[in-house]
Amino acid sequence: MVVVQSSKVPLPHPSSLSPPPHPHTTSILFEPSSLSLALTHSDSSISLYNSFSPHSHSLPHPQTLIPSPSSSSTFLLLQQPSSSSSSAAAAVLFIVSSPHRSRILLRLYRLRRDPPSFARVTGVLCCHKDLRFEPSLGVLLDAKHGAAVRLAGSVNYFALYALSSNRVWVFAVKDDDGGDEDDGGGVRLMRCAVIECARPVFSMSVALGFLILGEENGVRVFGLRRLVKGRGGKRKQLRNRGGGLEVVNCNGDLEGKMERHGVAVKQTNVKFKHDDRDGGSCFVALKGNEVKTKSTTKVSMSIKAISIQAVSQRMFLILDSRGDLHLLCLSNSGIGVDITSNVKQLHRIMKVQSLAVLPDLSTMSQTIWISDGCHSVHMFTAMDIENALNEANDCNDKLMHIPVNRVLFSSEKIQDIISLAANSILILGQGSLYAYAIS
């Protein structure tokens, strides 16, 4: 017998000082190891909650309210090398990007243990000329903010994309020995790599040793370890200029070139012989929509990869702008230069607007949730994807057919969804949060 438990959590106004009409909540972020919740509001302010409980009758006013403007945000787990591999031993950071004059401002908040709450990081040590920490503001990156900035965080690393600069920065974060963890301070911020993009980036994922950029008609996959460390441990700058991807040392010396043939990226070094220990990347195309014209010719409609979620150690789900899902399968751990991959499209059961997957990849029983952006959420599992992938490969089918295990219906129109646990989901409606647990 399947039991579905549900609870409704009304949302408070983010600030009693804001004049009417009060801003409403537009999106949610959840960090499962600390049960931290971030609510982004229509005025771009952010409410931070620690130890969120879906069984609460209502949310109180947040202890930490990040004032507007904010353009993007992400959680990051700060794992010490001497700590255990479990995410429970990691410190939790929350990173927010904002425009500040002609630069990008990064504000960092850390989850304190006693009392449990998020506090501003009071000291950030920056090791590069284009980074500067201002105690009253945060970290200033010498780059134009422009119309769009995206953040994606993982364990000890996060990526930042600025559309106006057409660049992706990869940063590493670690504890500064002089910082007081419970005083909210003491981290070191290091720029590891810069990617100059020839095409706009619509989504990013930093997970499981990969950096994946969602582009038009496909995704670009980088091995994160080699991207960060480079050849011989040198930091790298990568320039994606249509004809190829140039790998350049931070001092400007040309180190290598990766030329693109079709949808794959193959490395050919300029100064060094081919070495499998060097970093690499590949571009994987998504099948676009074809439209017949009056002359009976077919014109391919471009699609954009707008969401990327890790499903297992080697599989990622990609949501495109047309509302279709694609399964990206990677054949290695991202350490070698040749990142071989393939992608299969899932059979459409509806036009998907939102995709949510639990970040915990320790079990194949994890749940995938998809929403139509109206009033329904469909549920299936990673094991269902594995079985469907095997059947599609055996039958040489172009589409994967995934059975839907459960369907949830919401009385309010769905704005966003996030996975809370293996079989729990949090739904953002028009004025409330709805938590569902299936057992």
For residue 393, the surrounding DSSP H or E stretch is helix 382-395
Sorted by where each begins, the domain ranges of the chain are 1-68+347-439, 79-198
> Is residue 104 pLDDT above 90, yes or no?
yes
Q: How confident is the model at residue 134 (pLDDT cuts 50, 70, 90)?
A: very high
Q: Give every CB contact of residue 111 below 8 A, 6+ residues apart in sequence.
A: 34, 36, 50, 91, 92, 93, 94, 117, 118
Cβ count near 246 (within 10 Å): 18
pLDDT of residue 216: 93
| DSSP result, 283-322 | EEEPP-EEEE-TTS-EEEEP-BEEEEEE-SSSEEEEEETT
pLDDT tens digits for range 186-233: 899 999 889 988 889 999 999 988 999 999 999 999 888 877 776 544
pLDDT tens digits for range 295-336: 555 556 789 999 999 988 888 999 999 999 999 988 764 444
Is residue 51 within 8 Å of 25, Cβ to Cβ?
A: no
pLDDT of residue 422: 79
Order of strands, sheet of 424-428, starting from the edge strand that comes earlier in the sequence: 4-10, 432-438, 424-428, 416-421
pLDDT tens digits for range 265-277: 222 222 222 233 3
More confident call, 155 vs 234: 155
pLDDT of residue 138: 94
- pTM, 2 dp: 0.83
pLDDT tens digits for range 370-413: 999 999 999 888 777 877 777 777 666 667 777 777 888 888 89
pLDDT of residue 159: 96
Nearest residue to 284 via CA among 232, 346, 221: 221
